[in-house]
Amino acid sequence: MVNVFYSFMGELRTLIDRATCTPTHAFIKRLDEHGKLLRCYTQNIDSLEKRVGLETAFVQDEDAVDSTDSASKRRKQTMDKKFTRAVQLHGDLDTLICTICHTKCPFSHKLALEFREGTPPPCPRCKEIEVIRGIVGKRSQTTGVLRPDIVLYNEMHPQGELIGSLNEYDLKRRPDLLIVIGTSLKIPGIKRMIREMSRCVHDSAQRTQRAGAGKVIFINRDEPPRGWDDVFDYFIEGDADHALL
């Protein structure tokens, strides 16, 4: 099964390299450009949101912060909760991470070819440490392998606490529209997030009393399962690209 997983990830990485952004990605970016996007939360791991111009990093690079005081830089990094425009709930296939030392490296074309062979590549950092230990006469240790830096089923997101704080921050900003696109509504964490957001959006309708405010729209090829009637105000059946044109 491990070989199948790595082979599939290698093939997927190759397909992502060839992929192009869709009209749906362009629509989300237009919302952002017009100041209408509070935030995008995505289950996709292809990083096309980043390619279309939505920031997916959680903190701004220090070099990009106009300040000579390092302490001030750190404060700005942690305080700007509007910086991240798209939250990747399941990680992405841009990087790989070591199973032992947690060193990260780019998921390069060369590594994608190794993945496609079904063999987990060894971690270069662990190999380097192993060589050094051998030179100084220390016993060998377990060497890690590289795996995609994504969140698999039943795994916790390494940035889960930060994502939770962003979600809480967004709810306090009182959004008045929620668009849910192309999800099975089966993953517990995603279901809980959508329900919390929908309650917040519907509450905004009572506060603002504006026509059209407080609506939740679900765009999907399949109808929502039972138990979602009180969550979605509108269901648009079909392809998202066609629905949003």
Beta bridge partners of 96: 105, 148
- 90 given a catalytic annotation: yes
In the three-class reduction of DSSP (H, G, I as helix; E, B as strand; rest coil), residue 91 is classed as strand
Identify the pLDDT of residue 234.
95
Structure tokens at 106: 């780019």
Residue carrying the six token digits 């997030």: 193
pLDDT, mean over the chain: 89
Stated pTM of the model: 0.86
Q: Give the model confidence (pLDDT) of 151-161 as tens digits.
A: 998 888 999 99
Length of the chain: 245
Task: Please say whether the beta carbons of 178 and 217 come within 8 A.
Answer: yes
Give the rounded percent of residues in the chain with a pLDDT score beyond 70.
90
Q: Give the model confidence (pLDDT) of 8-42 as tens digits.
A: 999 999 999 999 999 999 999 999 999 999 999 99
Q: How confident is the model at residue 177 (pLDDT cuts 50, 70, 90)?
A: very high
Catalytic residue among 25, 34, 90, 202: 90
For residue 103, with 0-12 CB atoms within 10 Å meaning exposed, 13-18 middle and 19 or more buried, which class applies?
A: middle
Given a cut of 90, is residue 76 above it in pLDDT?
no
Q: Give the model confidence (pLDDT) of 178-195 as tens digits.
A: 999 999 999 999 999 999
Q: Distance of alpha carbon 63 from its chain centroid, rounded?
A: 24
